[in-house]
Structure 1
């Protein structure tokens, strides 16, 4: 690589044991016993993992302390082996392992099932993610953090679990911080419950202090301990780029082609920021791969996308080995950053950016912002190359930029909309949110804004208690409270069928394919116009879904109309799940028969905080906060005469603040349906 300068990345230093005297003790009472069904080769592989040397220490510390803060480098085996060690030591009850992302939960469950020669979703190993959960309680249960939150609503003390492992806490997602606060309360009630807080990069002493119920006067009374697991399995060489590149997406594409043309073996994992960029790079590289096949070249490529809204079966394809004679190329968002071991990966390409949500109190919305990644995230991405063998990481930013990068990504709870989280905490019986023990307390302004929105949605009353039944029903949905309010109100407006479709379509990132080439780009725009209507993007989505279903969900229909087939299949799956929930709550499934105004009016019942009007200066402004906004170029309203009033679902912050997923409304509907939030004034 002539334009890349090499630099070897040394394994990160990790803190030593907190108490040498204690950790030098062995766990004599437990004898290491493998499941007899496990093959000899699997046993050997497990014993080679760095975590294996610490097995006795882990079991001893779990016996003595309620909380174990485990700092283990990427690839040490903590996510798969610790639950197995506990089961082999005849630990009672279910061992729950929480992951930030559903693909990690599914892949880890399958990995452990393979190692134990059992069936996934059986009595030994299972997983639970949104819209896909195990039917029986297994001994080892991998799940997303949101699933554990929902289980707490039915069983606040988690009585069926003997241990909970919060994995990848360094990501500090919204649910990670909430779960740590809730687990601290549960541990006080259940002294026999054990908590493992695991991460590759985390401030262990800060977390120990958070969970330790001892005041510090007597060290022997500590309830939390720290254990470090040293040693990444394989070394990783890191390369920085010499000169800045104008477009990191094109840079990723060019670098993939360069690596593939070289004689260096191994599969490639490239990180991008979102589904749209992944799909764009995938289409270009797919065309290149097809040309290589036609020319019968030796360096053939097997290109796969990977992002959160991709259907489970499509995501799991990346874990399969490429066919003989092919090099696997995985284009992923940060879902592949942690807890996911993709076999065969040797080369990792880091674009250096990530999309983060940032809450704006003035607009009451989360803005998606494109930001440089932190050092912790960069090291996590680098670790993907050292899981199966020694690897190489190519960073598309200069070495001089490294010292200026943030050490860690700010916790999500300090920068995001809290309406859904506060709704769930209320459902769990946390009446005074301000007294809840957050590991990183969110800004008071964000809490105030969230409570204001929940009150406006009629989810809580003036005393801050959940309303019955609306508030409790809204808490059951794994959706933004604005969307759940629209769903639960749809029966009254006689358009629940249409609202189900609209809300389901909003759960995927994009449904339209945007080709890069000139002719195809024009054709795609013409095809999109066939679905567009003057009422806005959400009614346009109704037309798209209707066409997809009327054509029997055929992939050919999507190809002809430049639609994302995988996303639409995911929409069908989500819609079926939401439909079942509406039926359970007694919401009638009725259609408005194509009367778009009814659908738009129903949307106002939940999305009224996201209203904007056309200012005389020619730009849109929010009704509350007076923030200047612009119509996104991908919107169906971008090329027509701008309507006076619109609702938006999302704000994207790039060069300007852009509104996405728009719906045209009547200003009188805001006064009629949200008089507690809006009122008419006269300006002089």
Structure 2
């Protein structure tokens, strides 16, 4: 009986570890229900009373949590200790448990408030101590006196001279706020407002005298962006009839004299920033290949120089990936002969989680080399950089400032001292002298400035560029024959886009495809940062990209397919990874699209879809980009219809192998050739139908009768 009782007790005792309980697998008629059997069998068994029992899935759950943790983007050091705020967050989650233990002698509830106050006091003292160590601190009184005495001041502050983050310790959006394209974090209490130059330019449209501001500070003035150059002329003008307006022009370069002369001999206030000396090294002889020279210099520094990270400036993504690959190959070949070299690229199209790696602390015994574009000249400050390698394209003095901030450092220039003195330009050509001025003209005319030739530009653009912009705007129906703004232009003005994109959106109302067009416009606004092409997975990335071109629909429709596919997956991050698409770029596209959709309601354009009529979508695209049309030639190249020049379809285009007779393109990019980016096929008669004031029948006649090389060209009629 004892044995029987023990066996019975064992059977009746639930044991989720020693055995698996197959769920009921029969239906109401006592027949085996295979569907139920397998579906339930795949579910994890959960016992609500099993809190104290051993969890048979603990190891698997721990592994899953570890993998999920790795997939989440984290900034900063992996070994960073939790801050006091993080501990407080944990305690808030268990506040009931803490209160239940009051009788055990825990601290009073208001002690946490005291701790918060003490922590803030400590932070405030630390910030004050940090301020006192900055070079600008001893110039503080002099700067305040100069601001009070003069209306306009040019401030030259070198790298590391005055930047302190979290200085005021106030809630963001109250005393201190910011305004960017998709977010306005300000309130009635805001005293200091940070914004981009583009946002300030748009504020001029609503408040031409900037009456709500008493001080305007233009930072990074040396970058000379299109918006900044327009702002210079506008703020200079209003400062003459608003003596109460203070204007501070801040630059980190040595061209202060030019800013001073432009602003009527404004005084220059100089603040030294480099705390330690920087050794500058030039090559003894010119280098034929700066890429190879940069790689050799990195390895030479790594082997011969004391510890410290390296920053290498390169021109773009392709060069960075090339140097990355060669460095990895050479360091692998050296094996244990050298210490570890951690290679960290940084460029705009790189996924955010990979960009964040440049800020991680370098492990002991290793050295980090950062391969960067000019984004690292002013936009980023990377701690630990001791050596800078400069191939010598521009901003040489700015790049020197990336070193010498906390200890003596070195800058290696891959050119001779003679080249530096005689061959390099002091500054890059301002954007306003090398870009399309259609937006500039529209902005100035919207502000009531019609005498464009005599507008007070710091560096006036070529008069030919202004004439081309006026011609383009007239063709887009934004200006009439007298150069005045039209009703179409006023609708276009609501959209913070290039005039061609704005016209495309306005035209979509006619073709009943506004829903598709704002998606395409949003994708085009991002530029070429949608697709990601890893060096080791280029074939997979190219195949994923071509999947969106099924049916040879053209690049614009392919972009629409990308957005719609992402939307159908409920904006899935995993889908982006699988298709080699930038998650961050797609989220920005969604923000832009939401903004455009709201603006369309303001200008009373109905949101309607016409996804099945591709010709209607293409006509809307052509309405904005008709002057960007090209025709296939006998040699397989293309020639633009107006202002003829030879161009090529970019190899990344879905139409690169198809080569239609007529195409419309988004933009031209000059690399090894003049390439058309974002290309779509069109019918030539559309040009006369859509823009009869710009094209005549003779411009498009005989388009389908010319004999073309075998295998080239596709009938568009």
* More moved, 646-655 vs 129-138: 129-138
Q: CA deviation at 1:243?
A: 7.4
Answer 1 or 2: higher relative contact order, Cα 8 Å, separation at least 6: 1
Distance 1:500 1:277 in 2: 34
Q: Secondary structure at the match of 2:643?
A: coil
Deviations 1:570-621 (A, max 9, x none): 3233323333322333222222124322211110111111111112343211
Q: Give the equivalent residue in structure 1 for 2:621.
A: 603
| Residues 581 and 401 of structure 1: CA distance in aligned 2, closer, same or farther (over 3 Å) | same
Deviations 1:307-341 (A, max 9, x none): 3x779x76994785437658665443323322543
TM-score (norm 2): 0.72
Q: Give the equivalent residue in structure 2 for 1:51.
A: 136
Q: Give the equivalent residue in structure 1 for 2:149.
A: 64
Deviations 1:400-426 (A, max 9, x none): 532311121122212211111111111
Does residue 1:147 correspond to 2:199, yes or no? Answer: yes
Does residue 1:432 correspond to 2:451, yes or no? Answer: yes
The counterpart of 1:161, out of the listed 207, 213, 235, is: 213
Distance 1:644 1:666 in 2: 9
| Residues 599 and 584 of structure 1: CA distance in aligned 2, closer, same or farther (over 3 Å) | same
Q: Give the equivalent residue in structure 1 for 2:124.
A: 39
Q: CA deviation at 1:664?
A: 0.9
Does residue 1:445 correspond to 2:464, yes or no? Answer: yes
Q: CA deviation at 1:510?
A: 3.1
The counterpart of 1:131, out of the listed 175, 178, 182, is: 182
> What does 1:151-190 correspond to in 2, within 5 Å?
151-190=203-242
* More moved, 485-494 vs 671-680: 485-494
1:71–1:204 Cα contact (<8 Å) kept: yes
Q: Secondary structure at the match of 1:392?
A: strand
Q: Secondary structure at the match of 1:156?
A: coil
Q: Give the equivalent residue in structure 2 for 1:677.
A: 694
| Residues 182 and 347 of structure 1: CA distance in aligned 2, closer, same or farther (over 3 Å) | same
In structure 1, stretches of 5+ residues that fail to align are 1-34, 81-110, 213-221, 353-372
In structure 2, stretches of 5+ residues that fail to align are 1-119, 703-717
1:266–1:344 Cα contact (<8 Å) kept: yes
Question: Which structure has greater strand proportion?
Answer: 1
- Higher alpha-carbon Rg: 2
| Residues 525 and 204 of structure 1: CA distance in aligned 2, closer, same or farther (over 3 Å) | closer
| Residues 122 and 565 of structure 1: CA distance in aligned 2, closer, same or farther (over 3 Å) | closer
Q: Secondary structure at the match of 1:385?
A: coil
The counterpart of 1:577, out of the listed 564, 574, 595, is: 595
> What does 1:453-464 correspond to in 2, within 5 Å?
453-464=472-483
Distance 2:291 2:459 in 1: 34
Q: Give the equivalent residue in structure 1 for 2:85.
A: none
Distance 2:642 2:148 in 1: 55
Q: CA deviation at 1:448?
A: 0.8
Does residue 1:384 correspond to 2:423, yes or no? Answer: no
Does residue 1:229 correspond to 2:246, yes or no? Answer: no
Q: How many residues align?
A: 575
Q: Secondary structure at the match of 2:564?
A: helix
Distance 1:282 1:477 in 2: 40
| Residues 585 and 593 of structure 1: CA distance in aligned 2, closer, same or farther (over 3 Å) | same
Q: Secondary structure at the match of 2:666?
A: strand
Deviations 1:35-73 (A, max 9, x none): 988633322322222222222222222212211122232
| Residues 400 and 551 of structure 1: CA distance in aligned 2, closer, same or farther (over 3 Å) | farther
> What does 1:317-466 correspond to in 2, within 5 Å?
317=356, 320-322=359-361, 330-338=370-378, 340-352=380-392, 373-374=393-394, 377-397=395-415, 399=417, 401-402=419-420, 403-466=422-485
Deviations 1:6-55 (A, max 9, x none): xxxxxxxxxxxxxxxxxxxxxxxxxxxxx988633322322222222222
Q: CA deviation at 1:233?
A: 2.3
Q: CA deviation at 1:514?
A: 3.0
